[in-house]
Structure 1
Amino acid sequence: MERTDTSGLTQLGQSVAAPTSPEEAVLERVPASHPGTDYTVRLTAPEFTSLCPLTGQPDFAHIVIDYIPGDWLVESKSLKLYLASFRNHGAFHETCSVEIALRLVELLAPKWLRIGAYWYPRGGIPIDVFWQTGAPPEGVWIPDQGVAPYRGRG
């Protein structure tokens, strides 16, 4: 089995301070180990946090990112640090969700990518944000994201 080339990575295996903003965060990638083979990669961040840009109050989301790699995979430690950089970042739910997806598309040039951002209620209203690059390639298994719609105590 071929070893993944990690020679260009700057964060994996290193002590790295958490970035203070998404703009400062460094996202890194590694070569896909099976180029030419279509498969789905799922990344789940069940404890994502950001701030309301008006009140400064915390917002919480369960984020699921599915993608079909082209030549690149996202390096997971860099993704963890990137997502953590939103913790003190003020932006609306829709902005955070789509910014994450667009940044990954720019980095990876995947064959397909989708994000489901399931935000917990603010003011009694949950906001879920969904975005994808287009139709997925034929014949690739893409499971349901498995996050139930928000249901209160009813």
Structure 2
Amino acid sequence: MTDTLTQLGRQTPMPASPDEALLERIANPHADTAYLVRFVAPEFTSLCPLTGQPDFAHLVIDYVPRAWIVESKSLKLYLGSFRNHGAFHEDCTIGIGKRLVKLLDPAWLRIGGYWYPRGGIPIDVFWQTGAPPEGVWVPEQGVAPYRGRG
């Protein structure tokens, strides 16, 4: 099942960019069952493409797999590769979702990008592939709107 993986169980350097990052998948051991997988990245970082200043987000990725599931170490390295990558919030959030859809062909996927304020305005970006499959429990993402320190 894991014979084709190249990063799991090995010391793997952080990819220099999202384009260079290798996302890997493995066969879903429960492909006959509709269930939800959630990944949370509360310390996601990227760079503003204009100023080079760091941007920070709390990402929540939910998906209902079919034949494939994402290998979590490769996902961690992929998300980490944005650390020195310049892109707007919308591009990062939706690009991550679309890349996972291309790799996994899930029954359903949604991503919530809860971005911390830049210039005094927080930006939240949401994308999903359609309605979730019937009968699958899809909990709320659980990220409160930005309130500052108040």
TM range (shorter): over 0.9
Cα-Cα RMSD: 0.6
- Partner of 2:131 in structure 1? 135
Q: Give the aligned partner of residue 85 of structure 2.
A: 89
**CA shift for structure 1 position 36:** 1.9
Aligned to 1:98: 94
Which of 3, 6, 9 does residue 7 from structure 1 map onto? Answer: 3
SS in structure 2 opposite 1:103? helix
2:117 equivalent among 116, 121, 136: 121
Shift of 1:45: 0.4
Alignment: residue pair count? 150
Unaligned runs of 5+ in 1: none
Partner Cα separation in structure 1 for residue 3 and residue 148 of structure 2: 48
Q: Deviations over 1:42-99 (max 9, x none)?
A: 0000000000000000000000000000000000000000000000000000000000
Using the aligned pairs only, state the percent identity. 74
Residue of structure 2 in register with 1:36 after alignment = 32
Q: 1:47 is paired with a residue of what secondary structure? A: strand
Structure 2: any 5+ residue segments left out of the alignment?
none
**Does the alignment pair 1:110 with 2:115?**
no
Letter matched to residue 141 of structure 1: W
Matches of 1:38 and 1:94, distance apart in 2: 29
Q: CA deviation at 1:153?
A: 3.0
Which ranges of 4 or more aligned residues in structure 1 deviate by more than 2 Å? none
* Structure 1 residue aligned with 2:144: 148
1:27 maps to 2:23: yes
TM-score using structure 1 length: 0.96
